[in-house]
Amino acid sequence: MKFVFLCAAACVALAGCEGTGTTGTPILNSNVDIAQAAPDAGLAFGKIDTTCGVAPASLGTAVASASGYTVYDSQPTSTAMRAHYVDGFTDGCLRQFTAALVLTGDVQTHEGVRYQASNTRPYSETDTAYEVIKGQYCGVPAGQPCGAKIDALSRRTVFLTAYPSFSDSDNWVEYLLHEGVVADAGTER
């Protein structure tokens, strides 16, 4: 509790974490972001850590906003791996990860691709986590679309996909953000 309060206080004091409010209790919360990192820490690709106390000028440029989260690119004109920050978390702190390219993905698109009969890709960690969230929130079994509650779920849940290069990436990392927490993360190949 002390950690959460200190991060929230630092965030408010520095005005660097807008959009930290959420609308409900997370259904699933992982510990993939339990470690703390200093701003611009040079994290290894795939790692996501909590970062508090970042001056707004150090975040870079807001490059994407979805489902209550905003992604900031520390060097938006670069194609090299670099720090990215995300706000919108219940503890008032940012999340930091390293990538060359970051894309957001909504739950409707995820379901459209995941539930295609031709999709034979094995379920990833984030796919499995999404099934838990979707099942409890929407009341539907695994492998079935959310249905009528999809718009409400999408207001609080989003996928971030991070790539190690701007082209020819045969691997990537998916972060599933839900209700102000990192619900899960996993490397895809």
86 sits in which H/E element: strand 82-87
* CA nearest neighbour of 181 among 72, 65, 32, 47: 32
Domain segments of the chain: what residues?
A: 2-106+154-188
Per-residue pLDDT of the chain (189 residues; tens, 9 = 90+): 333 333 333 333 333 343 334 458 899 889 999 999 999 999 999 999 999 988 888 899 999 999 999 999 999 999 999 999 999 999 999 999 999 999 999 999 999 999 999 999 899 999 999 999 999 999 999 999 999 999 999 999 999 999 999 888 889 999 999 999 999 999 887
Judge contact between 41 and 51, C-beta under 8 A: yes
List the 157-163 sheet strands across, edge first. 101-105, 157-163, 172-178, 181-188
Question: What's the predicted TM-score (pTM) here?
Answer: 0.86
